[in-house]
Amino acid sequence: MDQCWEVIDKETEEAVKSEDLATIERSLLEVVIERDTLNIEEIELFKAVNLWATKRCEKQGSSTNGSEKRRILGERIVKGIRFPVMAEHEFASVVLDSQILTPEEALKLFKYFNSVPDTPVGFPETKRTGLKELFERCHRFGSVAHTGSGYPYSPDKQDCLIFKVDKDISLLGVTLFGSKHNTYSVTIKITRLDYEKCLQSKPGKFSSALMKYKSVSYYGFNIFFDQPVSLKKSVEYRVEASISGSNSWFGQNGQDHLLCSGVRFKFRPSSYSTNGTNVERGQFSEFLFTVK
């Protein structure tokens, strides 16, 4: 049985798209849906669940409308789908058309996607840990916190950090801390120090969501650059962020060097940092990269 679950976890999309899925009992589908270790995008898992329900309706000679599919699925399966981790356009174009959710549930999810404060969404908000990513992560902190009023921001201050790597990498983006159901206006820059040359700058508004890295959960958001930033080994770079928004979570117990997927990152504080970020605490939760 353990070997079977291991195959399902590793090859989830192939498993749920097989013709045999329509033949399994609801009790087994419930167990599958609740597994955190599935390797599949949530929208693809929902499509498989919707198809299972449609096939069951047809087999029973009943209507395939949303309410009937909801009845056949049962609340345990519907509540096990992680709608909040879907992209809003996926939710709007696929989930809504199925009519499986109630109008009240759909409204709550739209409020969640648009960062309306204090919206109880009613569905799991973290991505499945088994989902394979196309990039590596360097997580800076041993713990995260939101004690007191959290980590503050003001227009005249910025968070900065200097770092270097021991292998050539492509930096795809950076993860910043946020807080529950809030949106942040951010401009993030990567500067090569020896030339004092800005390699790339990325402005925008970003919505915070519940994120999970190994055993650490926190509210934050990924910022991906428009193009990967090529970083050379042993060369120092400065990452800086100007952030406007509500007080956020923040990292603690950071280290000055970390080995992440075979790449050693070394960090040191920057005199440009005027908002409290340094090696030990503050912003820049994760660096998202690929090895050349």
Each residue's pLDDT tens digit, 53-83: 999 999 999 999 999 999 999 999 999 999 9
For tokens 């770092």, what's the residue? Answer: 163
Mean of the pLDDT values across residues 95-121? Answer: 87
Total-model pTM:
0.68
Q: What is the DSSP letter of 278?
A: -
Q: Which of 14-18, 181-185, 205-209, 284-288 has the highest mean pLDDT?
A: 284-288
Q: Which contacts qualify for 67-73: CB closer than 8 Å, 24 or more apart?
A: 67/99, 69/98, 69/99, 69/100, 70/100, 72/26, 73/26, 73/49, 73/100
Write down the domain spans for the chain. 2-113, 136-291
* Phi, psi values for residue 190, rounded to 5°: -120, 125
Which of the two residues, 101 and 129, has the higher pLDDT score?
A: 101
Banded model confidence at residue 268, pLDDT cuts 50, 70, 90: very high
Q: Considering only the top CATH level, what class is 136-291?
A: mainly beta
H or E stretch covering 60: helix 42-60
Could you tell me which of 257, 261, 259 has the C-alpha nearest to residue 290?
261
Question: CA 31: distance to chain centroid?
Answer: 23
Question: In the CATH hierarchy, which fold is given to the domain comprising 2-113?
Answer: 1.25.40
H or E stretch covering 2: helix 2-10
Banded model confidence at residue 146, pLDDT cuts 50, 70, 90: confident
Which of the two residues, 269 and 115, has the higher pLDDT score?
A: 269
